[in-house]
Structure 1
Amino acid sequence: MRKAVIGIVLGLAGTAQADEVVIAALGDSLTQGYGLPADQGFVPQLQRWLDAQGAEAHLINAGVSGDTTAGGLARVDWTLTPEVDAMIVTLGGNDLLRGLIPAQARENLQGILKAADRSEVDVLLVGMEAPGNYGPDYKAQFDVIYPELAAEFGSLYLESFFAGLRDGGVLPDPVTLRPYFQTDGIHPNAEGVSRIVEGIGPKVLELIARTED
């Protein structure tokens, strides 16, 4: 397993113990923790959840607000520093907001997964689902990107960043989800992040176990 000793990763990482699995969370504002106190964002809350499970893991917040899949591809190589053992990839939301061509998102995500392969880094790929307002063809093309790439590269896969907000596998009516979002209706508040972490946490434990095999 590729692991360095204690280090700082481009100012984003804190001190990691030598026996910890180091995980880079590559994403956009949802990962970065937009609009929230520093300790209530996705990465800090997920770190506390993992600590409570007894997982020996250290998370690096590699989320950049506004980033597209192209932005993630542009910085993946310097995100995958030698001490990184695994990576959570949560990108695509800004591609959707801008109505970018699904084929471009696929190519960018494929490039990210190829970089992870080159660095021998295990990946959890978190999916995104296109809204219906772009039409059924766009939605069909976009939604299959993530499961198909996960199968192609043998990555772990979670169907949606918002899986923890689902009720019995179904996303509730948006009105009922308002208490879990900030006023922009896009970014989760601290309570929403807590539920999101509950949904993604078990997959991250699988990711950690995979790095230890």
Structure 2
Amino acid sequence: MEAPVNILAFGDSLTAGYGLDPGAAVPDRLETMLRENGYNVTIINAGVSGDTTSGGLARLPWSLEQNPDAAILELGANDGLRGEDPQMMEDNLDAMLRIFAERSIPLLFTGMKAMPNLGEAYEKDFSAVFTRLAERHDVIFYPFYLEGVAGNPDLNLPDGIHPNEEGARRIAENLYPYVVKLIEKTRSQKEAG
């Protein structure tokens, strides 16, 4: 049996599983899928509903006390909902990415898009942050966490923002190949010592 890999899923309500039954959040779905396919993986759900990149940066050090082997970083949606300055969001995410790198924690970084009601310029600036950071830090990158789920009433709770159980399952399926890449990167890094 392969050595276990502990992955920290660090994010907001989209990671926490807002409005979903226990076991239905994206990290839970991913862990189940991975284990069913023979991966010895534990995913720690460190999602906090309402969290922004500022809040995430503040709580990251104590979340890392769990000594994860790898991590998934999903933050920025609430910055967008609040119309926060994309530069501030970029600074916060950049700082978090540096913390993961300093600790040699392989990372899957997920992007987000702003709501269209904030205008085209904001939307463009907001989305560009994630691509720019992924290139700068050379991490595994999934460009849009809610790909295929955002805006689909069948896949979201009545609030139109948070995925329902089917939406969470779809996100987990989309993320699955990226998480497999993350596990492989983590294992080869451990072997290289």
Note whether the superposition's TM-score is higher than 0.5: yes
- Residue in 2 that maps onto 1:178: 153
**Structure 1 Cα separation of the partners of residues 64 and 184 of structure 2:** 19
Fraction of identical pairs, as percent = 38
**Structure 2 Cα separation of the partners of residues 107 and 77 of structure 1:** 16
Question: Are 2:96 and 1:112 aligned?
Answer: yes
Question: Are 2:182 and 1:207 aligned?
Answer: yes
Amino acid across the alignment from 1:42: V
**Structure 2 Cα separation of the partners of residues 51 and 59 of structure 1:** 11
Counterpart of 1:129 in 2: which secondary structure?
A: coil
Asked if structure 2 preserves the Cα contact closer than 8 Å seen for 1:45 and 1:197, the reply is: yes
TM superposition score normalised by structure 1: 0.84
Asked if structure 1 preserves the Cα contact closer than 8 Å seen for 2:11 and 2:75, the reply is: yes
**Structure 2 Cα separation of the partners of residues 193 and 131 of structure 1:** 19
Amino acid across the alignment from 1:137: A
Amino acid across the alignment from 1:201: Y
Counterpart of 1:128 in 2: which secondary structure?
A: coil
Counterpart of 1:39 in 2: which secondary structure?
A: coil
Asked if structure 2 preserves the Cα contact closer than 8 Å seen for 1:24 and 1:60, the reply is: yes
C-alpha deviation, 1:77, in angstroms: 1.1
Counterpart of 2:144 in 1: which secondary structure?
A: coil
C-alpha deviation, 1:18, in angstroms: 9.1
Aligned with 1:157 (options 116, 126, 141): 141
C-alpha deviation, 1:86, in angstroms: 0.8
- Residue in 2 that maps onto 1:61: 45
The list of structure 1 runs, each at least 4 consecutive aligned residues, that deviate by more than 3 angstroms after superposition, is none
Give the unaligned 5+ runs of structure 1. Answer: 1-16
Asked if structure 2 preserves the Cα contact closer than 8 Å seen for 1:80 and 1:119, the reply is: no
Counterpart of 1:40 in 2: which secondary structure?
A: coil
Moved more, 144-153 or 59-68: 144-153
Counterpart of 1:88 in 2: which secondary structure?
A: strand
- Tell me which protein shows more helix as a share of its residues: 2
Counterpart of 1:62 in 2: which secondary structure?
A: strand
